[in-house]
A and B are shown apart, each in its own frame.
Chain A
């Protein structure tokens, strides 16, 4: 391939942003100064292109953060450095919401307008910011705002992500967020130390509150700590200190794993019957064992921390309050599956989690708990963070691999499965953050003991992200098999004693249950036979003030916005589904309401049956469940 890049020269600032990740260009070929030898050597070609393509996303992040957008000239320079065709790099960058291919204001505030915030704070979560600052996208004093899908701070009922570029640039979350909060961000447009990513900056009010004690996050932490397993260190163990983590029993699980050996750990996991918490409930032991025993080398292990399912915030809480636990768990996974290199793919909207996790990895490395001799066992394990850039689909495991590899975050067809061909085409284990924390618990209490918690087929505890119209929203940990009613009681029941209308279980990809179903057991088998799902642990409560039609429209909009666009059923089906719901809510059906009902069912069928990945396959699930349960008034009146 002959690389053809623009002749426009990147600015010094742009080159510095690229070089910050790649180091200075050493050859004329790669955009640096031309030396004598450059006239005789071709450095490009397929090998060069594939060798460092995985640095594409980190370089794009660096440009976004330092320069504020990715210009044609900057793209040309990074393509010369990485041997990537500009069209391909453009295709990658344009798939992510947090990367801009046009100049934008120095500060961009992404304001959540998603379903949990609608349910908790009323119909227009962006109302205040719109009133104060005008329509989205309009720049005022170096600042603009835009609506955003769920930012994973649902316990507050409002949240914003502030993206600031240039000197002192970075990201920060403000939750709760209101018009006044925007004022604060807006008035401090001069270098804002609080927006730095990792510098020891004075903590802003919101972050200090999060650090102090996450009572608001984990209501059980201040009452009933004895029931906490995965959350037991939350709020009592300093998340920035490896000594504190070890003093609280941290790294005992790794020690035990090393003494048991890989096969020993696999049999504990099997005895524990641990099922994945990322949505698909796949047995973890089977996955790890398939990777461990795959003769193809090298192996990789990935922690999936891309958490973007609307209503989900559990992994963020775990990473912000207990980051060493994830580092320890992934290390164990690496040792057991024979992976010497691991990645945490972290949602780009989680700056505090990134800061904590970076600190934890650095300390673990300094203490010989990562690196070329893990805990003096002779095992090699390196761990690095790869940051997402605003794409729900990148949480799907194969899209996630593509994202790390510097390709578009499009899911791959399965089979082959990741255990055979995953990251960089090699056998790869991948688990959700919560699943990995369960592994620590399995090792500390033993597989049999773990299996005795919960129900016969759903072992262990589960984290539930309770949001919406409840008295105490937050993250709850209960044994699997607890009923929905018991969980809601823990959360103080419906706020203000109002009437419960419905609960959305499992998130936008989940389904609605009705008040008469509150005795449903929250276990994998019970929800499956009730035709619903635990998904990522979302329990979103809606009382009689919530406009379910509006919630459904937002869900339809979410799937349309987040579809990768690869396959026809999802790319066009999500558009038609959104249009149909708009027609119903404006009472302008095409033909009869009966015909609209049939069309909605057909759309659901083709998306569920024929989409490539889980996004399209579940894009109609919540909507169809609401229709089946009579929650959509406009369909009920006429028919």
Chain B
């Protein structure tokens, strides 16, 4: 990079990470300092292409002298900071965060690291009791702020609810939603600027929603799938992938990923097309691709089905969504 100003050497900050002195650029986060020092910090709501929202709290670390733990993903380093990334306090909080998520959300499609962290920190979601019955369709969506049905405590409340399937491109399975805000950021000012979805409601009844929970075809959604691309838990998923997983046919050994350039326009977005049994099951773009930062439009994301068209397929796609 040669842009004016960025050629100056950044000022360095010296701090201590688990007793080792390290120097990093001023303005770096603790997470970046840890990455440089080879210290592994779990993260769920963090993504390098989005502004940190620091809501999941699985990345907390201890700053000696601070009253509370701090989120590594967003807290900037300060000179002489003493950071502990694996103290008893840190381990307890991470264990509990994972327990709280594990006892309320279906994490079975989350990245394999999540299972590894659950083991590493000894999280035991079953301590909170057997899961409560799933909510009925629309139940969580109509919850009023400040009011909830009292529980008798014998079962643990969860976000389990029916899958939302209202368009051909992707499904929303909010039983898997950890409310990491990534999809909202990707749909909003961080990438797509469409603002089709936002967090609604409050407390445990907070949820990702369109206005009045209207279906995506009635919302502002343009089916760019940028929300699907950032979702860490499989709550948002290509319909093809979702259905293969549901029927037990999802099989990574039968898949291959082809890196190519989107055929539709001249922007030159790189695509990674995942195919199983000659069918496109997922399309992404690399996060570090300097044209897309992982984002695509509807054509590149969902418009490649023609490669496997046999002529027997039902007419589907975006236009079909609008017909009620």
Task: Name the one of B71, B97, B145 contacting A95, with C-beta atoms under 8 angstroms.
Answer: B145
**Which B residues between 136 and 162 are near A, CB-CB below 8 angstroms?**
142, 144-148, 150-154, 156-157
Count of chain A residues with a beta carbon within 8 Å of a chain B beta carbon: 67
Among B167-175, B200-208, B246-254, B282-290, the stretch that binds chain A is B200-208
Interface pair A579/B60, CB less than 8 Å apart: no
A85 and B153 within 8 A (CB): no
Which of A102, A147, A571, A583 has most chain B Cβ within 10 Å?
Answer: A571
**Interface residue from A85, A96, A561 paired with B148 (Cβ < 8 Å):** A561
Q: Are B199 and A579 in contact (CB under 8 A)?
A: no
On whether the beta carbons of A610 and B57 are closer than 8 Å, the reply is yes
- Assess whether B55 is interfacial by the CB under 8 Å rule: yes
State which of B74, B194, B198, B203 has its C-beta within 8 Å of the C-beta of A90: B198
CA–CA, A8 to B96, complex, Å?
Answer: 46
Assembly CA distance A2 to B104 (angstroms): 36
> Which of B2-10, B107-115, B209-217, B264-272 sits within the interface?
B209-217
In the bound complex, do residue A576 and residue B128 qualify as a contact, i.e. CB atoms below 8 Å apart? Answer: yes
| Interchain nearest-CB distance for B34 vs A (Å) | 17
| A566 and B206 in contact, given A89-B211, A582-B153, A609-B68 (Cβ under 8 angstroms) | yes
Min CB distance B316 to A, Å, is 22
Partner of A565, one of B71, B188, B203: B203
Tell me if A571 and B220 are in contact (CB < 8 A). Answer: no
Q: Are A85 and B97 in contact (CB under 8 A)?
A: no
Q: Are B219 and A606 in contact (CB under 8 A)?
A: no
Decide yes or no: A609 and B93 within 8 Å by CB, A561-B146, A575-B157 being known contacts.
Answer: yes
Whole-angstrom CA separation of A603 from B103 in the bound complex: 13
Name which residue of chain B comes closest to A104, CB basis. B144
Chain A 566-585: CB-based contact to B (< 8 A → 1; otherwise 0): 11110111111011111100
Question: Is there contact, CB below 8 Å, between A568 and B57?
Answer: yes
Q: Find out whether the CB atom of B69 lies under 8 angstroms from the CB atom of A609.
A: yes
Interface residues in A584-639 by Cβ distance below 8 A to B read: 586, 588, 590-591, 595, 599, 602-603, 605-606, 608-612, 617
Complex alpha-carbon distance, A75 and B194, angstroms: 17
A149 vs B148: C-alpha distance when bound (angstroms): 13
Q: Would you give the shortest CB distance from B101 to chain A, in whole angstroms?
A: 6
CA of A612 to CA of B218, assembled, Å: 35
A531-550: which have CB < 8 Å to B? none
Q: Is the CB of B202 within 8 A of A95?
A: yes
* A87-B219, A606-B93 known; A568-B195 Cβ under 8 A: no
- CB proximity of B221 to chain A, nearest CB, Å: 9
Q: B159 — nearest CB in chain A belongs to which residue?
A: A572
Q: Are the C-beta atoms of A586 and B211 separated by less than 8 Å? A: no
List B contacts of A100 (CB < 8 A). Answer: 144
- The contact string, 1 if C-beta is below 8 Å from chain B, for chain A 389-405, is 01100000000000000
Contact A75 B97 (CB under 8 A): no
Known A-B contacts A576-B128, A582-B152; A568 and B97 likewise in contact (beta carbons under 8 Å): yes
| CA–CA, A91 and B188, complex, Å | 13
A563 is an interface residue with CB less than 8 A from chain B: yes
Can you list 22 residue pairs at the A/B interface with Cβ under 8 Å? A1-B195, A87-B220, A89-B211, A94-B202, A97-B146, A146-B147, A147-B147, A408-B199, A413-B71, A560-B148, A560-B203, A562-B202, A565-B199, A565-B204, A575-B157, A578-B151, A579-B157, A590-B128, A599-B128, A602-B92, A610-B60, A612-B55
